[in-house]
Chain A
Amino acid sequence: MAGAQRSDKQTACHVSEKEKDEALIVRIKNGDYSAFEELVRKYQARVYSHGLKFLNSKEDAEDILQETFLQVHKSLDKFRGEAAFSTWLLKIATNNCLMRLRKRKKMIAVSIDKPIEFNGSKLTREIVDWSKNPSLQYSNDEIRMVLDNTIAKLPEDKRAVLILKDVEGYSNIEISQMMGMTVAAVKSRLHRARIFVRDELSVYFEGALEHTKTGSVK
C-alpha cells in the first residue's frame, strides 16, 4: 500500500491531461461538485468557441455551452474512458451544434458531391493561382466574411468535419470518433468541403488577379 502511494507520487509530476481529467471524473462521480467546476473551467472556452464557429451566434453558442455541460454531468456514467474526455466532450458539443443547425432549417445546403470541373482528363477551365494575393489573411474582415459565408453554405456533415480539422486542428481519428464515421469518410468529406471553399474563394478573387494562362493539361 505504502509502495503504491509512493509510486503514485513519483509519477505525479508527469500526469497527462487524460489522467488529470480521469481523476476529476472519479471525484465528480463521487459527488464532488468542485471537481465538476474545475472540469468546466478547463473546457468552457473550448466548447464556447466551438459553438461560435459552428453557429456564428453568441446566443446560440451560449446555449450550446450550457446544454453541453449539463449533459456531460448527467451522462458522465456513460463515459468509459476509451477516448480522451475532451474528444467525448466535443462529440456532445458537436451533436448539439448539429441539432441546432437542423432546427434552423433555413440553411441552404448546396450539392458539392459532383466532381469538379475536370472533364475526363482535360481541364475545362483555367485555374487561377491567387494563393499569393496579399489581401489573403484571415484577419482581413472581407476574407473572413467570405469564409464564414462559405462555411455556412456547406452541408452539416462537411461543415463539421472542416471546422474540426482545419479550424480546430483535431486529427482524422479524433474526428471519426466525434462524428461516428470512418476515417475514410472523414477524409472524403474534408476533401469535398475544402474544394468547395477553395472554389468560392476563387470566385471571390476572380478579377482580383490577372488571369494567367495555365498551359496545356494532361
Chain B
Amino acid sequence: MKCQEILEKLSEYIDKEVDPSLCDEIERHIEDCEPCVAFINTLRRTVELFGGVKHVTPEIPPDVSDKLNAFLKEKIIRNP
C-alpha cells in the first residue's frame, strides 16, 4: 500500500472501523513509514482534542432555561 491509500483510510483506522485484513496492511506499512506514523499520531490527537468536551455533561444557565419555559408556555398554551 502507498501512503496516499493509507491516508484515505486513516479516520476509519483510528476509529477502529477497518476490517482486519486492511488493518494488518496498514500496520505493516506504518512499521517503517515515519511520515504515516506522524500523520496518524497527529490525526488521532486532533480527534482526541475534540473528545475532550464529550464527557462533560452539557449545562444550561438557569435563566436560559427559565426563558425557554416561558417562551414555550406563551406560544403553546396562551397563543396556540
Contact = CB atoms under 8 A, between A and B. Distances in A.
Interface of A: 33, 36-37, 40, 44-46, 48-50, 58, 62, 65-66, 69-70, 73, 115-116, 118, 120-121, 123, 126-132, 136-139, 143, 147, 162, 166-169, 172, 187, 190-191, 194-195, 197-198, 201-202, 214-215, 217-218
Contacts of A115: 4, 7
A194 B47 contact: yes
Contact of B54 (A66, A169, A201, A215): A169
Contacts of A201: 42, 46, 49
B37 to A, nearest CB: 7
Contacts of A136: 45, 49
B68 interface: yes
B64 A166 contact: no
Chain B: interface secondary structure? Answer: helix
A36 B41 CA distance: 46
Contacts of A167: 50-51, 53-54
B19 interface: no
Contacts of A123: 3, 35
Given A66-B71, A127-B35, A198 B42 contact: yes
Given A33-B76, A138-B49, A198-B46, A217 B35 contact: yes
A194 B69 contact: no
B55 to A, nearest CB: 9
A20 to B, nearest CB: 18
B60 A45 contact: yes
Contacts of B10: 191
